[in-house]
């Protein structure tokens, strides 16, 4: 492809360039539901963490461009060690993912040597490498229900998902005090207020919210499950990162969809722009490199999840 003059390119031109680059480089673009709509339009697949992991494992493309955060790009690389994996933005990270270190987990594992270590997929590869199985928001409850009843369970790193899983399964989980600031900030008072304002709407919340908020909801679910629910229901309150609300308003313009809070913004998810994603693809920028041993150990925990659920 000839050298691109990036100045003054409009959105439609960037989309056309992206489509040509995808064909020329045999690149598959995956984007998370929280990404800006301008970014989602160039993706071959848009979904939640579990869906992104599954399609990343199945693609036969030579290259993968991940429009999301670092941990999602790492997952794509772990599942495709022989492929080139790029991040659309070099510093899109996750506050939750960095609240616990492998050393913290290793210390806990010495206290509970027989424990199953369930690691939420929104965690760094170094943490997955010290885990026995990975989970996502959509499968955490089912997965924990399938683990041996006689084994203790360490759940890292999100305390809110862990607390929800504990409530749903009756299994006692050993957890760290880590959380997603986007979801943890929502209070029960806020939820009750919007319930009064929209009494006919169904409230959907992500399990990264606090337990009292989850218990007030009509459905606690992942982003993809929120989309599926909204396809069949006309009045919905979306209790997760604001990007999903924007996506659903775009795809379902005739439905009465309300955001639980406009404050639910993930700054790192919003770092990715259409221009940045296309530049990364054009110039092979932000390649994801994972240590071979970390990749091998993380691959075990990820694939065990995919086999069980």
pLDDT tens across 232-268, in order?
Answer: 999 999 999 999 999 999 999 999 999 999 999 999 9
The whole-number pLDDT of residue 2 equals: 55
CA distance 221 to 241: 13
Q: What is the pLDDT of residue 173?
A: 98
Low-confidence residues in the chain, pLDDT < 70: 1-2
Q: What architecture does CATH give domain 96-181?
A: 3-Layer(aba) Sandwich (3.40)
Calpha distance 153→138 (Å, rounded): 18
* The pLDDT value given to residue 35: 97
Q: Is 148 exposed, middle or buried (0-12, 13-18, 19+ CB in 10 A)?
A: exposed
| 101 burial level (CB within 10 Å; 0-12, 13-18, 19+) | middle
The H or E element spanning position 207 is none
pLDDT, residue 49, reads 87
Q: What pLDDT was estimated at residue 74? A: 96
Nearest to 176 by CA among 269, 67, 103, 239: 103
pLDDT score recorded for residue 198: 99
**Domains 11-92+271-289 and 187-260 fall in the same CATH topology:** yes
64, 70, 74, 77 alpha-carbon torsion, rounded to 10°? 10
Query: Which SS3 state, helix, strand or coil, does residue 131 take?
Result: coil
Contact 121, 75 (CB under 8 A): yes
CATH number for the region 187-260 comes to: 3.40.50.10800
Give tens-digit pLDDT for 272-288.
999 999 999 999 999 99
What is the pLDDT, as a whole number, of residue 5? 87
Q: Where are the alpha helices (DSSP H) in 198-269?
A: 211-216, 223-232, 242-251
The predicted pLDDT at position 93 comes to: 96
Residue 185 structure tokens: 């900030």
Sequence-distant (≥ 6) Cβ neighbours of residue 103 within 8 angstroms: none
Determine the Cα angle at 31 with ends 54 and 245, to 5°: 110
Which pLDDT belongs to residue 3?
Answer: 79
- The CATH architecture assigned to 11-92+271-289 reads 3-Layer(aba) Sandwich (3.40)
C-alpha torsion sign, points 78, 79, 85, 91? negative
* pLDDT in the model for residue 73: 96
Residue spans per domain, the chain: 11-92+271-289, 96-181, 187-260
């Amino acid at each position: 492809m000839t050298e691109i003059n990036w100045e003054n390119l409009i959105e439609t031109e960037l989309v056309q360039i992206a489509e040509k680059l995808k064909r020329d480089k045999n690149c598959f673009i995956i984007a998370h539901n929280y990404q800006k709509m301008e970014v989602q339009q160039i993706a071959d697949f848009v979904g939640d963490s579990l869906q992104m992991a599954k399609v990343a494992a199945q693609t036969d493309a030579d290259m993968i461009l991940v429009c999301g955060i670092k941990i999602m790009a790492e997952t794509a690389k772990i599942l495709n060690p022989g492929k080139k994996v790029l991040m659309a933005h070099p510093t899109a990270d996750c506050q939750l993912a960095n609240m616990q270190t492998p050393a913290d987990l290793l210390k806990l594992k010495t206290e509970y040597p027989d424990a199953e270590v369930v690691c939420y997929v929104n965690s760094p590869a170094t943490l997955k490498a010290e885990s026995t199985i990975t989970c996502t928001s959509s499968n955490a409850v089912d997965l924990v229900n399938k683990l041996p009843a006689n084994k203790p369970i360490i759940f890292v790193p999100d305390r809110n998902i862990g607390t929800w899983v504990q409530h749903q399964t009756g299994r006692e989980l050993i957890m760290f005090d880590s959380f997603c600031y986007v979801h943890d900030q929502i209070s029960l008072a806020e939820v009750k207020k919007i319930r009064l304002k929209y009494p006919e709407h169904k409230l959907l919340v992500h399990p990264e919210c606090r337990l009292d908020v989850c218990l007030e909801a009509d459905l606690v679910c992942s982003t993809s499950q929120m989309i599926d629910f909204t396809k069949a229901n006309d009045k919905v309150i979306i209790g997760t990162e604001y990007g999903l609300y924007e996506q659903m308003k775009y795809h379902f313009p005739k439905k009465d969809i309300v955001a639980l809070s406009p404050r639910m913004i993930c700054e790192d998810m919003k770092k990715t722009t259409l221009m940045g994603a296309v530049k990364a693809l054009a110039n092979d920028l932000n390649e994801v490199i994972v240590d071979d041993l970390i990749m091998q150990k993380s691959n075990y925990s990820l694939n065990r999840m995919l086999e069980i659920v």
